[in-house]
Amino acid sequence: DAKTTQPPSMDCAEGRAANLPCNHSTISGNEYVYWYRQIHSQGPQYIIHGLKNNETNEMASLIITEDRKSSTLILPHATLRDTAVYYCIAQTGNNRKLIWGLGTSLAVNP
Amino acid sequence: DAMVIQNPRYQVTQFGKPVTLSCSQTLNHNVMYWYQQKSSQAPKLLFHYYDKDFNNEADTPDNFQSRRPNTSFCFLDIRSPGLGDAAMYLCASQREWDTDTQYFGPGTRLTVL
């Protein structure tokens, strides 16, 4: 069973920041939080991951709460090409499998 | 630069007729995965290989088999496809267990008639 919960859908205006929340209140101390996205009819694409600290790369920023019970993926300037399903995933400790939830369908509108 | 390649992108088969889906990776990764993704659902892990060691998920039907003849290639065999096996099949690779990213192929969409 997925260890993460996300809103099923969100909208964002083009050029604005998209903030995608994720709850993972049962995540263990050694489990990473991963974000992938899937554009329609394509394979998932890695975005970012983190354990405790906030992370930033060329695609996005990941803000993890101090208690690690939730996190937020931030796309700083959303474009139409960011329209996709965004998955927040816990990676289990032993064999590093990704436990996928249902994701958030993000629609970026002109 | 293609990294994880899946062929074909679209596959049509008949009910009960065996079908093989192909995946190759140019990354020299040790770990390879097969996922099944049905419409509007999250990817579901079927099995994975660490090098030549095969690991089957407990709920993966026996109808699904896999082969990994070498590091680069991995095949998914569906011995007797049913209508419920129509889905997108995703292949992914990862360098090592404790590295960060799974790289996914574009997927093969399987239709069962």
Mean pLDDT of B46-51: 93
Mean pLDDT of B11-18: 96
Q: Do A43 and B102 touch (CB under 8 A)?
A: no
| Cα dihedral sign, B21-B25-B30-B34 | negative
Window B:1-30, CB contacts with A under 8 Å: 4, 6
CB of A93 within 8 Å of a chain B CB? The answer is no
CB of A45 within 8 Å of a chain B CB? The answer is yes
Distance from C-alpha of B111 to C-alpha of B88, rounded to nearest angstrom: 9
Q: Name, in order, each residue with C-beta under 8 angstroms of B31's C-beta and a sequence gap of 6 or more.
A: B48, B49, B50, B93, B94, B95, B96, B97
CB of B109 within 8 Å of a chain A CB? The answer is yes
Kindly identify which residue of chain A lies nearest to residue B42, measuring between CA atoms: A102
Contacts of B47 in chain A (CB under 8 A): none
Q: Do B98 and A96 touch (CB under 8 A)?
A: yes
Residue B97: Cβ within 10 Å count: 12
Note down pLDDT in tens along chain A; length 110 residues.
Answer: 668 999 999 999 999 999 999 998 888 888 889 999 999 888 999 999 999 989 999 999 999 999 999 999 999 999 999 999 999 998 775 666 787 888 999 999 99
Q: Do A46 and B97 touch (CB under 8 A)?
A: no
Q: How far apart are the first and last CA of chain A?
A: 36
pLDDT of residue A101: 84
